[in-house]
Structure 1
Amino acid sequence: MTTSVTLTVCFDAPFWVGVLEIAEAGEVRATRHVFGSEPTDAELYQFLLRHGTALLERAQANPAVPVETRHPVRHNPKRAVRLAAREAARVAQGRRSTASQEALRLELEQRKSSAAAESKRRKQDEAERKYALAQAKRKRRKRGH
């Protein structure tokens, strides 16, 4: 079983974004990290030394998306050259694979749902706190103090 890990850094206006993809057993897991300004090679190296493990753990925690396996189709050699050039241009521009895009979408949905649940819990706690303060204030007024 082979596992490949790739970190692709690309410009996703207005920030530079790193996309970490873990491909294993026909599945891809991905996560992204926003760098802000363009990171140099030395900064990327330091970032991976400091935060690489956490980034890998974050990617492993995300749901796996199956990668479509295509059976090789015999093409005209000229068509094969055009397809290879198109794929090389896609990689050069930093575009992510569709499987990693799907994995990032699933990660975003998970973060949204957990953030919404946390926000709802905080609002309920705040409402309960305000209600308790109002009850205490009402009791103080009733006592006449």
Structure 2
Amino acid sequence: MKLTICYDGQFYIGLIENISENKYKAYKYIFGNEPKDQEVFDFVNMNMLDFIKNNEKHDGIPIQQKKVKKINPKRLQRKVAKELKKPSISSKAEEAIKAEIELRKKEKSVTCKRLKEERKNYIRNIKVQKSKNKHRGR
């Protein structure tokens, strides 16, 4: 379990990353304006596990086990330098949050498409009915 605290422009956010049962889960906790060390310490010791239990909504992203391969020391050094240049929020946490957002978008788009199709069919049926009425002389 890993807690990363970062500033998002308005509030300080605690990003909790948890790997259990080969699944990666990420949670977002808002601390507010610049949390004191004691506030963070109290959250970690008393409230964090309850927060995780109350917010378990999604299953998480499955993690595939990779075989560990020996890496050239110079290549490892370049990788470490490259990762230090990245922002502090991990890409896996962003990926977990974005996956949930994408799921919501897909659900919304399916309902929107269905409503559009129903509307097109309704308008088409009205036009067909009008043309039939014209041929009948009404």
For the aligned pair, the TM-score class normalised by the smaller chain equals 0.5 to 0.7
- Residues 105, 59 of structure 1: alpha-carbon distance in 2 compared, 3 angstrom cutoff: farther
Amino acid in the other structure paired with 2:51: L
1:79 alignment partner in structure 2: 75
Aligned match for 2:7, one of 11, 36, 46: 11
Amino acid in the other structure paired with 2:48: G
CA shift, 1:109, in A, is 6.2
Q: Once the two structures are superposed, what CA deviation does each residue of 1:116-135 show, in whole Å capped at 9, x if it has no partner?
A: 9xxxxxxxxxxxxxxxxxxx
Q: Give the Cα–Cα distance (whole angstroms) in 2 for the partners of residues 19 and 65 of structure 1.
A: 16
CA shift, 1:106, in A, is 4.0
1:101 alignment partner in structure 2: 94
Query: Under a length normalisation based on structure 1, what TM-score does the superposition of the two structures give?
Result: 0.57
Query: Under a length normalisation based on structure 2, what TM-score does the superposition of the two structures give?
Result: 0.59
Per mean C-alpha deviation after superposition, the further-off stretch among 42-51 and 19-28 is 42-51
Q: Give the Cα–Cα distance (whole angstroms) in 2 for the partners of residues 109 and 49 of structure 1.
A: 33
- How do 1:28-67 residues align onto structure 2 when only pairs under 5 Å count? 28-49=24-45, 51-67=47-63
User: How many equivalent pairs are there?
Assistant: 106
- Residues 70, 27 of structure 1: alpha-carbon distance in 2 compared, 3 angstrom cutoff: same
Q: Give the Cα–Cα distance (whole angstroms) in 2 for the partners of residues 96 and 6 of structure 1.
A: 11
Unpaired stretches in structure 2, ≥5 consecutive residues: 109-138
User: Secondary structure at the residue paired with 1:60?
Assistant: coil
Amino acid in the other structure paired with 1:95: I
Provide the identity percentage: 26
Q: Give the Cα–Cα distance (whole angstroms) in 1 for the partners of residues 27 and 94 of structure 2.
A: 9
RMSD: 2.9
- Residues 52, 109 of structure 1: alpha-carbon distance in 2 compared, 3 angstrom cutoff: farther
Unpaired stretches in structure 1, ≥5 consecutive residues: 117-145
CA shift, 1:107, in A, is 4.5
CA shift, 1:76, in A, is 3.2
- Residues 107, 33 of structure 1: alpha-carbon distance in 2 compared, 3 angstrom cutoff: farther
